[in-house]
Structure 1
């Protein structure tokens, strides 16, 4: 294990995890488009449900200053998590109903598992356990790829069954990572009594609220299009469009890792601008993803339009990659209110575009609307970062 850690950096391990997730998405194209649409509907309802109902506990925990957990006590974290699980279940159920596709039990259970995993992962990242957290993501992806392969070999091409396998992987990885975090906490020794008072707890709730509004707005920008495609275009187009989205998201892996490291940085003055760097890293991966979608369309007529969606999403993907790192820097420098303001502006633009374009142009409209919204997000984030922290931007130039 120690040798593996020396040979494989956390960043590379995260890329492996993203690669396995992408491979799972690739294997899922062996499903007919309509069956893959059912799988995608369950995934979207669960992930968006976890984002809307999860109170953004993962990002909130990462953004807290050193010593915060000790001053608040573990019971405070457990209480926030318990409330978020209930809200996640409600959100996942509502989204499944809105999409008109998928299984309520699968979406609810998977959404709750994702909330647990994200919370445990944030605690692990605060402890600098990057390698273990990313290893769990990679392991989950490997199990999912193997499971999909076995179902395909058995000719069990049922989107509902594949969704249940995906649910099992989410539950398993959440359980393992959760147990690991509890073990790390136990080894750290007895926890002193919480020292925070009512004012501090009230400030936490206000911070959660401000941050969560922004995260909800971001998630609606990223995923509402898929819910509306399911509602207005049906399972087949959703299956193809969701594949293109997943393929292009792989190009954002470097930006995600960089943003997590920025959030985990204890000294805001040490935060730098990595926007240009992540765009340079994202472009060749995004271009290869579009080429791969085109090849897939030749091999499987069900997915012949996937490359079109990918090409339309590519410019926005590059903008979003830069925007994620700028957003993390903005959060560290200016707090939750700044990122929330940007997210609300972006959501307003995206919702209007989704409502106007998707009923008329289906998945093509969703792709165009998404790219425009991502550009707005990156532009507004950069502008807000420049105005609020000119010293930081000058050092980053």
Structure 2
């Protein structure tokens, strides 16, 4: 029975279900007053950005390693990187909560560490081609979150801090289950042989982590710094509405995320094609429906009447980002971490300048405009670097 379900429900469809449940959780959260939802959003952004900045990009790093890498390095090496990343995640989440001026330090730190564990375990699972199980855990987490939010709403417990604690609990639970599953899969391979890598290889790993992480940090600041600054300069109510628009438009990027993960898991760089147009075509109708949905929501909940405007301003950037994510994954496989990092740093430079100039002046509207422009720059620069890397590869093969 389970095998039949797996044949019918592809990993891509399952990921859409998981993202859909996450989107439904975001939709249910609009039953909160905008200011309370802003507190929930502040905790989420501190945790997710904290995990991205402090997590050393372990998930992306593990996905990009060649076959046999884990066996040659040994479990202790991976465990050591994860331990360091958890400490840095806690520090980053605490600093971001302080900068935003909203949210709870314990929630931000705890959820950030749970996300780091989950992302690391998910990367190991994806390397083993366990796409179905990893995405199932994401879906189950979303389902529990929706059910919990619904119960709080029925009980008239419209407290953003309480909903944040529930979100924290879901992150801890899913990280624990997936982590235990990965350890179980590892045991099936039998005793792990002694590590064969030497100091040169370990030093190369650290350099690769550093190059990759700089780029990922730059990308995350491009994606999420706007919300931290909206919280600081426009307040909890504005953040609650703007974060809802961001979450709605991110649903359109689901196909791009799955495609990027498959590209990173591909062991033959020559087998990677250009899927930019494909993901944009799939993202456009979903993004348009998201904007329409936000407009309808504004009619039903006046606190969120401006959400559709933010969504409309974010739509061009969302399409550009969808293509850019697949191009970035291909660029990472073809040209390495240095190329993607260079693109990310250029994009971050543009986005930070725009955020600092526009958000204190125009609040969430400025954040939406600045984000869309930054995403366009990211896609354009990534595409240019990918074309150059492809030409170099052809020249080397000629």
TM-score using structure 2 length: 0.98
Structure 1 residue 382, shift from structure 2 partner: 0.2
Whether 1:259 and 2:271 are equivalent positions in the alignment is no
Q: Secondary structure at the match of 1:241?
A: helix
Counterpart Cα distance in 2 of 1:126 and 1:394: 30
- The residue number in structure 1 matching 2:397 is 396
Q: Secondary structure at the match of 2:296?
A: helix
Counterpart Cα distance in 2 of 1:269 and 1:5: 29
Counterpart Cα distance in 2 of 1:394 and 1:237: 51
8 Å contact kept, 1:273–1:396: no
Aligned residues: 394
Counterpart Cα distance in 2 of 1:197 and 1:152: 56
Structure 2 unaligned residues grouped into runs of 5+: none
Counterpart Cα distance in 2 of 1:191 and 1:350: 45
Structure 1 unaligned residues grouped into runs of 5+: none
Q: Deviations over 1:59-98 (max 9, x none)?
A: 0000000000000001000000000000000000000000
Counterpart Cα distance in 2 of 1:196 and 1:312: 50
Counterpart Cα distance in 2 of 1:395 and 1:295: 54
- The residue number in structure 1 matching 2:176 is 175
Q: Deviations over 1:77-128 (max 9, x none)?
A: 0000000000000000000000000000000000000000000000000000
Q: Deviations over 1:354-387 (max 9, x none)?
A: 0000000000000000000000000000000111
Counterpart Cα distance in 1 of 2:57 and 2:139: 23
Q: Deviations over 1:210-237 (max 9, x none)?
A: 0000000000000000000000000000
Counterpart Cα distance in 1 of 2:316 and 2:394: 24
Structure 1 residue 392, shift from structure 2 partner: 7.2
Whether 1:65 and 2:66 are equivalent positions in the alignment is yes
Structure 1 residue 148, shift from structure 2 partner: 0.3
Counterpart Cα distance in 1 of 2:33 and 2:89: 30
Counterpart Cα distance in 1 of 2:187 and 2:38: 43
Structure 1 residue 388, shift from structure 2 partner: 1.5
Counterpart Cα distance in 2 of 1:385 and 1:14: 27
Counterpart Cα distance in 2 of 1:359 and 1:177: 41
Structure 1 residue 393, shift from structure 2 partner: 9.3
Structure 1 residue 6, shift from structure 2 partner: 1.3
Structure 1 residue 168, shift from structure 2 partner: 0.3
Q: Deviations over 1:142-170 (max 9, x none)?
A: 00000000000000000000000000000
Query: Residues 107 and 375 from structure 1, CA distance in 2 versus in 1: closer, same or farther, beyond 3 angstroms?
Result: same
Query: Residues 36 and 147 from structure 1, CA distance in 2 versus in 1: closer, same or farther, beyond 3 angstroms?
Result: same
8 Å contact kept, 1:326–1:382: yes
Structure 1 residue 390, shift from structure 2 partner: 2.1
TM-score using structure 1 length: 0.98
Structure 1 residue 389, shift from structure 2 partner: 1.2
Counterpart Cα distance in 1 of 2:216 and 2:142: 25
Superposed counterparts of 1:15-54, under 5 Å: 15-54=16-55
Counterpart Cα distance in 2 of 1:168 and 1:392: 47
Query: Residues 389 and 92 from structure 1, CA distance in 2 versus in 1: closer, same or farther, beyond 3 angstroms?
Result: same
Q: Deviations over 1:30-71 (max 9, x none)?
A: 000000000000000000000000000000000000000000
Counterpart Cα distance in 2 of 1:125 and 1:17: 16
Query: Residues 394 and 247 from structure 1, CA distance in 2 versus in 1: closer, same or farther, beyond 3 angstroms?
Result: farther
8 Å contact kept, 1:89–1:111: yes
Q: Deviations over 1:224-273 (max 9, x none)?
A: 00000000000000000000000000000000000000000000110011
Query: Residues 394 and 223 from structure 1, CA distance in 2 versus in 1: closer, same or farther, beyond 3 angstroms?
Result: farther
Root-mean-square deviation (Å): 1.7
8 Å contact kept, 1:47–1:111: yes
